[in-house]
Amino acid sequence: MRWLVLDLPARLGSMAKFIGGTVDDVTNWIIGFVILTLLVLVVGALRWEQVKDLLQQALRR
Q: How far is CA 45 from the centre of its chain?
A: 25
Under DSSP, is residue 19 helix (H, G, I), strand (E, B) or coil? helix
Q: How confident is the model at residue 12 (pLDDT cuts 50, 70, 90)?
A: confident
- What's the chain's average pLDDT? 80
Is there a contact between 37 and 50 (Cβ–Cβ < 8 Å)?
Answer: no
Torsion of CA 21, 22, 25, 29, to 10 degrees: -160
Closest C-alpha to 37, from 53, 28, 26, 48: 48
Q: What is the pLDDT of residues 20-48, one digit of tens each?
A: 888 888 888 888 888 888 887 777 877 88
State pTM to two decimals.
0.55
